């Protein structure tokens, strides 16, 4: 679809993005010491840090991805909302305060604190880098997909633009500016999502006056890249044709044509009782050597859209076979266990003053993030019946819903979505850069660095990691963003969470056990992903039935494996030490 | 390198252990609710899809309930630890 934007909309978009980057530069100039650069001097107020948690965590996958998934596949998108939030309780109830008590800058600090071990520090630094890089991939893929329709740029240009801006932000700034940017972004995201939700409920549900659309839309791409819709060139001019939007209510349960304003429960009831016309997933073929994508109308029952299993990756839960069901369980376990293991979330605990602030900021974060995820239900279903969905791009559901209300709202929501990508990517790069400086250079290599050298090492590392993120974003174009996020969570949960929990709750844990658990958890989940059915299908172009493992999400196997390795190696290493004593 | 503003509260071990116990109990309760939801979606798909609560499908009601429960558990934990201190 081609989007028409007014000059006011573009001005609002540019103003908001410039404001975010400008604030980052201004605050960045104030962080001179390494403690200021890496941990904001431990001076951030717990409330600001709590909202910044929301800014850090609510990535493009959360906002654009979930709303788009709900708009096209209903309840399945909301399952991600539930899983993403549930993981925060693990962070609050068992991780937040010990992490703050034991560490100074990085997750590795806390893990290595009991044994003062460089081996643990190196293993944890290694897992931090891997998780950050894997989590950067979906962010960059989302960035490319988002910038393409918003600014009319090619995918690679979008990825390169976001990667470059973020590297500039990180290199010129630090944790203080990153925190305030996240605070601003998190606050704006929740506020504008609330505005969108209120507007959706005020509009209510309405039967579309034109009724059902019977013909599919066929988009053909020429050798020179020109696109045609049903044979007419794609565009906004009179002689051209745009892709027609989808998502209309055909009939309501009580036979009425308009509900008027509704409350939160009434809105869900109205959607549940409606018949809705959406678009089928793209059917791709080659005709006369030209690729053709067809979007056929499909009529769905609102009630059926509130059941799980509509999303292609979740359809397995409706089948009798066990492995597709285990794939779903494995993903939901990874979301639950992965949040409290994400490096860019964990480093935020070092920006506040003490354990009580760590606890309070997590509670504020859970409140803001939980409230936002409730709103995704209404934004998603609101987009589903807005008549404004782009059948060729589910990521645009929330911005296009905003556009159905006003151009200005579209500009504001698009700008927030863009800063969302910037915010999460910069948080990840700060975490990874800090880990290189503290865990590898100062910890593993034992190179003594002064403050400014430490910051310089982190900045150089950030530039390299930013470059790698751009390359990864280009390599994984077209992959399902939510699936990629699921993998990042699975690796984080397998590598970091078992080690942290065992260190805190089992006195028999040894240094060797932790190192083995982190390394095996990281490598096993990476290996599983490399040989899973989804990779065979999407990346290697091979028959997924030939994959080496039966399902694609590794968490269900690799998280328990990591626990088992820690217990086994700890017991074995204690016995060895005792044998030597004898 | 200087570590100035970060403070580590030196709390008695008994306070830390009490807090850990509260955390583990609350996490166990929430995990059961979360696990139950995933289990129903996976292994009782038809039942959870066809059951309603006050006109709203159980899937949605349970999901919204889990989000509300997350926020409630977080607040309870915060309040209990304020008392403990």
The whole-number pLDDT of residue B85 equals: 45
Closest CB to A82 among B27, B56, B67 = B67
Closest CB to B27 among A81, A93, A100 = A93
Contact B67 A373 (CB under 8 A): yes
Question: From the CA of A539, how many Å to the nearest CA of chain B?
Answer: 28
Find the mean pLDDT for residues A353-357: 86
**DSSP-assigned letters across all residues of A536-548:** HHHTS---GGG-S
Closest CB to B77 among A92, A304, A354 = A92
Question: From the CA of B33, how many Å to the nearest CA of chain A?
Answer: 10
> In a mutagenesis test of the B interface, which of A50, A54, A82 is the best target, namely the one with the most B β-carbons within 10 Å?
A82
Higher pLDDT, A169 or B7: A169
**Which chain B residue lies closest to A83 (C-alpha atoms)?**
B34
**Which chain B residue lies closest to A453 (C-alpha atoms)?**
B1
Question: From the CA of A372, how many Å to the nearest CA of chain B?
Answer: 10
The whole-number pLDDT of residue A338 equals: 93
CA A400 to chain CA mean position, Å: 20
Report which of A319, A323, A298 is spatially closest to residue A309, judged by C-alpha positions.
A319
The whole-number pLDDT of residue A118 equals: 85
> In a mutagenesis test of the A interface, which of B70, B81, B84 is the best target, namely the one with the most A β-carbons within 10 Å?
B70
Task: Quote the CA–CA distance of A515 and B26 in Å, as a whole number.
Answer: 29
Contacts of B64 in chain A (CB under 8 A): 374, 377
Find the mean pLDDT for residues A21-42: 71
Question: From the CA of B14, how many Å to the nearest CA of chain A?
Answer: 14
Contacts of A90 in chain B (CB under 8 A): 27
Contact B77 A81 (CB under 8 A): no
Share of chain A above pLDDT 90, in %: 42
Tell me how crowded residue B82 is: count the other CB atoms within 10 A of its CB: 11
Residues 6+ apart with CB under 8 A from A274: A205, A249, A250, A251, A252, A253, A302, A385
**Which chain B residue lies closest to A360 (C-alpha atoms)?**
B78
Higher pLDDT, A577 or A488: A488
Find the mean pLDDT for residues A255-276: 95
Task: Quote the CA–CA distance of A178 and A417 in Å, as a whole number.
Answer: 16
* Dihedrals phi, psi of A210, to nearest 5 degrees: -85, -5
User: Chain-wide mean pLDDT for chain A?
Assistant: 87
Task: Quote the CA–CA distance of A376 and A378 in Å, as a whole number.
Answer: 5
The whole-number pLDDT of residue A520 equals: 97
Report which of A182, A143, A135 is spatially closest to residue A162, judged by C-alpha positions.
A143
Q: Give residue-wise pLDDT tens across range A394-441.
A: 888 998 999 999 988 988 888 888 888 887 888 888 888 888 888 888
Beta strands B52-53 and B56-57 are antiparallel
CA A47 to each of CA A56, B61, B70: distance values in angstroms, whole numbers, following the listed order:
14, 30, 18
**DSSP-assigned letters across all residues of A419-437:** HHHHHHHHHHHHHHHHHII
* Banded pLDDT at A449 (limits 50, 70, 90): confident
Contacts of A70 in chain B (CB under 8 A): none
Q: Is the dihedral of CA A437, A438, A440, A441 positive or negative?
A: positive
Question: From the CA of A99, how many Å to the nearest CA of chain B?
Answer: 11
End-to-end CA distance of chain B: 32
The whole-number pLDDT of residue A86 equals: 96
Contact A317 B42 (CB under 8 A): yes
Indicate whether B65 pLDDT > 80. Answer: yes
**Which chain A residue lies closest to B29 (C-alpha atoms)?**
A89
* Dihedrals phi, psi of A215, to nearest 5 degrees: -90, 140
The answer to whether A395 and A114 have CB atoms below 8 angstroms apart is no
The whole-number pLDDT of residue A581 equals: 64
Closest CB to A353 among B5, B20, B48 = B5
Residues 6+ apart with CB under 8 A from A164: A466, A470
**DSSP-assigned letters across all residues of A425-493:** HHHHHHHHHHHIIIIIIIIIS-----HHHHHHHHHHHHHHHHHHHHHHHHHTTTS-HHHHHHHHHHHHH
Closest CB to B27 among A89, A371, A451 = A89
Indicate whether A465 pLDDT > 80. Answer: yes
Secondary structure of A310-357 in HEC code, one letter for each residue: CCHHHHHHHCCCHHHHHHHHHHHHHHHHHHHHCHHHHHHHHCCCCHHH
> In a mutagenesis test of the B interface, which of A92, A96, A313, A375 is the best target, namely the one with the most B β-carbons within 10 Å?
A92
The whole-number pLDDT of residue B2 equals: 39
* Banded pLDDT at B4 (limits 50, 70, 90): very low
Contacts of A332 in chain B (CB under 8 A): 38
Report which of A464, A448, A417, A414 is spatially closest to residue A170, judged by C-alpha positions.
A464
Closest CB to B70 among A85, A304, A307 = A85
The whole-number pLDDT of residue A369 equals: 96
Q: And the tokens for A311?
A: 């999303």
Residue A297 has, within 13 A of its CA and on its CB side, a CA count of 19
Closest CB to A272 among B1, B30, B57 = B57
Question: From the CA of B80, how many Å to the nearest CA of chain A?
Answer: 12
* Banded pLDDT at A559 (limits 50, 70, 90): very high
CA A34 to each of CA A30, A45, A443, A452, A573: distance values in angstroms, whole numbers, following the listed order:
12, 19, 15, 7, 37
Report which of A426, A350, A363, A353 is spatially closest to residue A56, judged by C-alpha positions.
A426
Q: Give residue-wise pLDDT tens across range A481-501.
A: 777 888 999 999 999 999 999
* Banded pLDDT at A370 (limits 50, 70, 90): very high
**Which chain A residue lies closest to B49 (C-alpha atoms)?**
A307
The whole-number pLDDT of residue A29 equals: 66
* Dihedrals phi, psi of B2, to nearest 5 degrees: -125, 145
Contact B8 A272 (CB under 8 A): no
CA A542 to chain CA mean position, Å: 27
Indicate whether A352 pLDDT > 80. Answer: yes
Report which of A360, A356, A361 is spatially closest to residue B8, judged by C-alpha positions.
A356
A20-24, A300-304, A316-320, range with the lowest pLDDT: A20-24
| Rounded (5°) CA angle A136-A563-A557 | 65
Contact A272 B56 (CB under 8 A): yes
Contact A377 B42 (CB under 8 A): no
Q: Give residue-wise pLDDT tens across range A79-98.
A: 999 999 999 999 999 988 88
Residue the block writes with tokens 């975490």: A431
Q: Give residue-wise pLDDT tens across range A494-539.
A: 999 999 999 988 999 999 999 999 999 999 999 999 999 989 988 8
Share of chain A above pLDDT 70, in %: 95
Q: Exposed e or buried b for every residue in A354-385, given b needs 16+ CB within 10 A? A: bbbbbbbbbbbbbbbbbbbbbbbbbbbbbbbb
Contact B5 A42 (CB under 8 A): yes
Residues 6+ apart with CB under 8 A from A366: A85, A88, A89, A92, B70, B71, B74
Question: What's the CATH fold of domain A7-28+39-203+315-575?
Answer: Sodium/glucose cotransporter (1.20.1730)
Mapped onto helix, strand or coil, the DSSP state of residue A258 is strand
The whole-number pLDDT of residue A254 equals: 87
Indicate whether B50 pLDDT > 70. Answer: yes
Indicate whether B1 pLDDT > 50. Answer: no
Indicate whether A198 pLDDT > 80. Answer: yes
Contacts of A300 in chain B (CB under 8 A): none
The answer to whether A56 and A345 have CB atoms below 8 angstroms apart is yes
> In a mutagenesis test of the A interface, which of B57, B58, B62, B81 is the best target, namely the one with the most A β-carbons within 10 Å?
B57
Contacts of A41 in chain B (CB under 8 A): 4-6
Contacts of B38 in chain A (CB under 8 A): 328-329, 332
Indicate whether A210 pLDDT > 50. Answer: yes
**DSSP-assigned letters across all residues of A498-513:** HHHHHHHH-TT--HHH
**Chain pair A-B, CB pairs under 8 angstroms:** 154
Contact B5 A41 (CB under 8 A): yes
Question: From the CA of B82, how many Å to the nearest CA of chain A?
Answer: 9
In chain B, domain spans: 26-84
The whole-number pLDDT of residue A282 equals: 79
Secondary structure of A88-120 in HEC code, one letter for each residue: HHHHHHHHHHHHHHHCCCCHHHHHHCCCCCHHH
* Banded pLDDT at B84 (limits 50, 70, 90): very low
Find the mean pLDDT for residues B12-27: 90
The DSSP secondary-structure symbol of A232 reads: E
Indicate whether B5 pLDDT > 50. Answer: no
The answer to whether A73 and A384 have CB atoms below 8 angstroms apart is no
Residues 6+ apart with CB under 8 A from A82: A373, B34, B37, B63, B66, B67
Selection from A142-156, A402-416, A547-561 with the highest mean pLDDT: A547-561
Task: Quote the CA–CA distance of B18 and A86 in Å, as a whole number.
Answer: 23
The whole-number pLDDT of residue B15 equals: 86
The whole-number pLDDT of residue A31 equals: 60
Closest CB to B3 among A104, A450, A504 = A104
* Dihedrals phi, psi of A442, to nearest 5 degrees: -80, -40
A88-97, A266-275, A391-400, B3-12, range with the lowest pLDDT: B3-12
The DSSP secondary-structure symbol of A303 reads: T
Find the mean pLDDT for residues A362-383: 96
Indicate whether A231 pLDDT > 90. Answer: no
């Amino acid at each position: 679809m081609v989007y028409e934007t007014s000059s006011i909309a573009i001005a609002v978009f540019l103003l908001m993005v410039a404001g975010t980057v400008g604030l980052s530069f201004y605050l960045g100039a104030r962080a001179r010491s390494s403690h200021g650069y890496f941990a904001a001097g431990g001076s951030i107020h717990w409330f600001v840090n709590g909202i910044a948690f929301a800014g850090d965590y609510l990535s493009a996958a959360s906002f654009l991805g979930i709303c788009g998934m709900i708009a096209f596949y209903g309840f399945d998108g909301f399952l991600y909302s539930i899983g993403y939030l549930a993981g925060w309780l693990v962070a609050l109830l068992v991780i937040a305060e010990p992490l703050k008590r034991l560490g100074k800058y990085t997750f590795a600090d806390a893990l290595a604190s009991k044994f003062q071990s460089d081996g643990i520090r190196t293993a944890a630094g290694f897992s931090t880098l891997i998780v950050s890089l894997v989590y950067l991939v979906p962010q960059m893929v989302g960035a490319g997909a988002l910038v393409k329709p918003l600014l009319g740029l090619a995918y690679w240009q979008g990825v390169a633009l976001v990667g470059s801006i973020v590297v500039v932000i990180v290199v010129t700034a630090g944790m203080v500016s990153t925190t305030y940017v996240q605070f601003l972004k998190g606050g704006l995201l929740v506020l504008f999502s609330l505005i969108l939700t209120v507007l959706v409920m005020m509009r209510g549900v309405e039967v579309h006056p034109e009724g059902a659309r019977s013909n599919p839309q066929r988009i053909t791409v020429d050798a020179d890249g020109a696109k045609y819709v049903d044979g007419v060139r794609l565009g906004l001019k009179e002689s051209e044709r745009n892709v027609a939007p989808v998502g209309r209510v055909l009939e309501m349960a009580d036979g009425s044509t308009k509900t008027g304003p509704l409350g939160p429960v009434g809105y869900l009831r109205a959607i549940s009782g409606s018949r809705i016309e959406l678009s089928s997933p793209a059917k791709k073929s080659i005709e006369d050597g030209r690729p053709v994508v067809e979007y056929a109308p499909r009529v769905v029952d609102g009630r059926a859209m509130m059941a799980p299993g509509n999303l292609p990756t979740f359809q397995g839960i409706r089948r009798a076979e066990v492995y597709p069901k285990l794939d779903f369980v494995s993903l939901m376990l990874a979301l639950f266990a992965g949040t409290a293991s994400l490096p860019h979330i964990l480093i935020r605990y070092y920006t506040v003053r003490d354990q009580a602030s760590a606890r309070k900021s997590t509670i504020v974060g859970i409140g803001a993030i939980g409230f936002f995820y409730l709103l995704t239900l209404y934004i998603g279903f609101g987009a589903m019946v807005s008549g404004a969905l782009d059948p060729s791009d589910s990521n645009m559901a929330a911005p296009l819903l905003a556009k159905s209300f006003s151009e200005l709202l579209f500009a504001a929501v698009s700008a927030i979505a863009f800063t969302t990508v910037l915010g999460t990517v910069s948080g990840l790069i700060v975490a990874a850069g800090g880990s290189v400086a503290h865990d590898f250079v100062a910890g593993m290599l034992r190179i003594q660095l002064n403050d400014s050298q430490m910051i310089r090492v982190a900045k150089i590392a950030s530039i390299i990691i930013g470059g790698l993120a751009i390359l990864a974003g280009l390599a994984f174009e077209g992959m399902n963003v939510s699936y990629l996020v699921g993998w990042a969570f699975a690796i984080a949960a397998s590598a970091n969470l078992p080690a942290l929990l065992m260190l805190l709750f089992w006195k028999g844990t040894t240094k060797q056990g932790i190192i083995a658990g982190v390394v095996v958890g990281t490598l096993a989940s990476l290996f599983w992903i490399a040989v899973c059915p989804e990779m065979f299908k999407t990346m290697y172009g091979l028959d997924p039935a030939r994959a080496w493992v039966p399902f694609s999400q590794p968490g269900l196997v690799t998280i328990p494996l990591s626990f088992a390795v820690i217990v086994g190696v700890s017991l074995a290493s204690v016995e060895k030490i005792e044998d030597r004593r004898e | 390198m200087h570590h100035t503003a970060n403070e580590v509260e030196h709390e008695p071990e008994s306070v830390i252990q009490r807090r850990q116990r509260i955390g583990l109990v609350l996490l166990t309760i929430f995990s059961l609710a979360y696990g139950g939801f995933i289990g129903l979606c996976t292994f009782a798909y038809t039942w959870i899809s066809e059951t309603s609560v006050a006109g709203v499908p159980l899937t949605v009601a349970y999901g919204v309930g889990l989000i509300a429960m997350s926020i409630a558990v977080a607040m309870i934990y915060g309040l209990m630890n304020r008392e403990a201190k």
